[in-house]
A and B are shown apart, each in its own frame.
Chain A
Amino acid sequence: MEIEKKLIKKASLEKLFEKLQAKGNKIFAPVSKDGKTEFQYNPSYAEVTYDHIQTTQSLKNTVFPKIENLIRFKTDRSGVEVTEVDLTQVQSLVLWGVHPCDAAGFNALKSIFMWDYKDEYFNSRLQKIAVIGLSCHKSDDNCFCTSVGLNPGGTQGCDILLTKLSSGDFLAEIITEKGKAIVTEASELFETAPSETKEGNLAQVNQQFSHEKVTKNLAGAFEHPFWVENSLRCIGCGACAFVCPACACFDIQDETKGKNGKRLRCWDSCGFGLFTIHTSGHNPREVQSQRWRQRILHKFSYMPERNESLGCIGCGRCSRACPVDMNILEQLVSLEKL
């Protein structure tokens, strides 16, 4: 589908938001509070921010919840009764004000969950989301989308992409059929596209490394002292993985109450010491530097090779969240020069 461009005035944007809400859509939009911005379910339009650089948490929770119910079961003497989760009941969700990197993050997750075996839990959620993107007009020194092949005005993963123009109105690019359907239903709010392009209204994010070069270097860098030297300060928490829009490692756990229970899928992290430990006590990744190496290799070497997608979108969340300043950008820049 060819991208169609329209103008939506500032006041009309509010109407669009309210119209979507009035139709019973659940909306997930960024809200700033106490100096932090996070996506929130069904905020009022006045609360929604358009000025944030990045939320602390990613949007993966919407398609890969931090706790996901896989099956329910009942046990008694006569046996076990298992009920599948009815995935047709998944509600549709409008993601509002999503930065282009985050929108592309869904593709990275898709490359994991829809690779080989198709994960229906993930897919049924993915089908139900509509992504209304918002180009970035601000960035900070943790942002590096341009280094992983994305850009502050990229349309990948968006159904509609909004870009704030100098007038305060928004340029709307309608990218998919899903996006078109939203526009059609509120056509009175959209006007003919202006001559002003989005290019002049985007954040300037300079490319800092070539990811192809990093991938190439990683192939021979498994035994390199780089890993130990640069991860001594890593304390092995899962903050990076949990805020990452593309990290998808999980654990499967049962939770029971009396005779009833559920099998749940919960987020996990390859940075945790017990992640790979065998029952025998043997641990293939015994020390933290091996786990840090795994994190980088998985995103920049294994995923490009197996899943034809990078496992990183350059949002910089992990660097901002890390309590010990393990800055992924800094490390990737060094890895490019290795």
Chain B
Amino acid sequence: MESIRKKAKELLDSKQVQVIIGYENGTSNKVRAAFITDPTQVDRLIYDERCTQNLAVYLVKHEVKHLGKMGIVATIPVMRTINMLISEEQVKPENVVVLGIGEDGKLLDFPDLTVMESFLQKAKIEITAKDKEAMEKLKKMTTQEKFDYWSNALETCFKCYACRSSCPLCYCTRCAVECNQPQWIPVQANKNGNYEWHMLRAMHLAGRCVSCGDCGRACPLDIPVHLLTMHMAEESKRLFGVDSGFSMKMESVLSNYKLDDKDNFIQ
């Protein structure tokens, strides 16, 4: 924690960055994002196991970008998101300084982003045991059981789009659900509309999701929507051998192909 504050102060003092995006104590024992522009305020920054929000979502937020060059406290999923955003040309590498946090919770020193990149090559991806278990359980179900599970789980969704807004990779200003000529997804939050919306969201994150799990965490109704995108991440790794966010120059999985992609399901 001290090392994060020290580094943040150093960056702000030397004007290498104009804002540090980190975590601070919020209300009711919650933590929340902090935007520190004043070096004397760095003591607000904290880091502990409660800090799970994917802060990269702010790298593409207009009003935050507007503050200037950004320093960001980044755990492994956040670092992977930054790589994804750079690959997709949403973030300019020269506008970001990463205050990396390793698996042990200690500050990592990245003189530049290429060092972060090589760190990530070796880093492990961990999803929580709870999520792993839930996914295994789902995979063992029959088709009918899976269908019932999802159509019921998604039925309560009222389309507040917290899953979409919390996801740093859902940065489109006009989402596919808002494109209404034609209306692809029923706008209303009914069983059918919800099912198709979450299917669309998962598909649009296929090969892009970094399994941070923030969409599920953000859902006010506790619908495990992150299990959908995490599954897509797992599958694209299995099918195409790539993990998203491990390089700043990742080629998008769905806009590339290999001649030997398996096609044993095609007659």
Taking the complex as a whole, does A directly touch B, i.e. does some CB pair lie under 8 Å apart?
A: yes
User: Could you tell me which A residues sit within 8 Å of B by CB distance?
Assistant: 36, 56-57, 66-67, 140-142, 228, 232-233, 235-239, 241-243, 251, 253, 255, 264, 266-267, 269, 272-274, 287-289, 319, 321-325, 327, 329-330
- Cβ-neighbour of B58 out of A140, A233, A251 (below 8 A): A233
29 contacts between A and B (CB under 8 A): A36-B222, A56-B221, A57-B158, A66-B188, A67-B188, A141-B28, A142-B28, A232-B33, A233-B33, A235-B165, A236-B165, A237-B160, A237-B164, A237-B218, A238-B159, A238-B161, A238-B162, A239-B160, A242-B160, A251-B187, A266-B189, A267-B158, A267-B159, A272-B161, A319-B27, A319-B28, A323-B53, A324-B166, A329-B27
- Given A238-B161, A266-B189, A324-B53 in contact, is the A233-B63 Cβ separation under 8 Å? no
- Which of the residues B35, B64, B162 comes within 8 Å of A237, measured between beta carbons? B162
A268→B55 CA distance, assembly (Å): 26
Knowing that A141-B28, A269-B160 touch, tell me 10 more A-B residue pairs with CB under 8 angstroms.
A142-B28, A232-B63, A235-B166, A253-B188, A272-B161, A287-B62, A323-B53, A324-B33, A324-B166, A325-B31
Q: Is the CB of A237 within 8 A of B188?
A: no
A325: contacting residue among B32, B62, B63, B165, CB under 8 A: B32
Query: Nearest-CB distance from A254 to chain B (Å)?
Result: 8
Q: A67-B190, A237-B162, A287-B63 are in contact. Are A242 and B220 (CB under 8 A)?
A: yes
CB closest residue in chain A, given B26: A325
Contact assessment for A66 and B217 in the assembled complex, using a CB-CB cutoff below 8 Å:
no
Interface size on B, residues (CB 8 A): 39
Contact in complex: B160, A238 (CB < 8 Å): yes
Chain B contacts with A in 188-232, Cβ cutoff 8 A = 188-190, 214, 217-222
Q: Which residues of B contact A36 (CB under 8 A)?
A: 222
Q: Is the CB of B220 within 8 A of A232?
A: no
**Contact with A324, one of B32, B178, B187 (Cβ below 8 angstroms):** B32
Answer whether residue B14 sits at the interface, using C-beta atoms and an 8 A cutoff: no
Shortest Cβ distance from residue B168 to the other chain A in the assembled complex, whole angstroms: 10
Question: If A324-B32, A324-B33, A324-B53 touch, does A239 touch B27 (CB 8 Å cutoff)?
Answer: no
Choose from B63, B158, B164, B186 the contact partner of A288 (Cβ within 8 Å).
Answer: B63
Query: 5 closest pairs, A vs B, by CB?
Result: A323-B218, A237-B165, A321-B220, A325-B32, A237-B162
How many angstroms between the C-alpha atoms of A245 and B230 in the bound complex?
Answer: 33
Within the assembled complex, what's the spacing in Å between the Cα atoms of A322 and B188? 22
Which among B62, B158, B159, B190 has the greatest number of chain A C-beta atoms within 10 A?
B158
Is B64 a contact of A232 with CB atoms below 8 Å?
yes
Nearest Cβ in chain B — how far from A265, in angstroms?
9
Given the complex of chains A and B, what is the CA–CA distance between A255 and B192 in angstroms?
12
Specify which of B27, B58, B190, B219 is in contact with A141 (CB 8 Å cutoff): B27
CB nearest neighbor in B for A235:
B165
Whether a CB of chain A sits under 8 angstroms from the CB of B108 is no
B174 on interface, CB distance cutoff 8 Å = yes
Residue of A nearest to B63 (CB): A287
For residue A34, which residue of chain B has the nearest CB? Answer: B222
Give Cα A264 to B193, complex, Å: 13
Judged by a CB distance under 8 angstroms, whether B181 is at the interface is no
Known: A233-B32, A269-B160. A239 touches B218 (CB 8 A): yes
In the complex, what residue of chain A is closest to B190 when comparing beta carbons?
A: A67
Which residues does chain A contribute within 8 Å of B214, judged by CB atoms? Answer: 323
Q: Kindly name the residue among A233, A253, A264 whose own CB sees the greatest number of chain B CB atoms within 10 A.
A: A233
Q: How far is the CA of A20 from the CA of B197 in the complex (A)?
A: 38
Contacts of B64 in A (CB 8 A): 232
Nearest CB in chain A: distance from B195 CB, A: 15
Which residue of B is nearest A229, CB measured? B35
Q: Are B186 and A255 in contact (CB under 8 A)?
A: yes
Verify B220–A325 contact, CB threshold 8 A: no
CB distance from A321 to the nearest CB of B (A): 4
Q: Is B143 an interface residue (CB 8 A)?
A: no
CA distance A238 to B189 in the complex (A): 13
Does any Cβ of A come within 8 Å of B30's Cβ?
yes
Contact yes or no, B158 A242, CB < 8 A: yes
B174 nearest CB neighbor, chain A only = A274
- Chain A residues positioned under 8 Å from B219 (CB to CB): 323
User: Which chain B positions have C-beta within 8 A of A235?
Assistant: 57, 61, 162, 165-166, 218
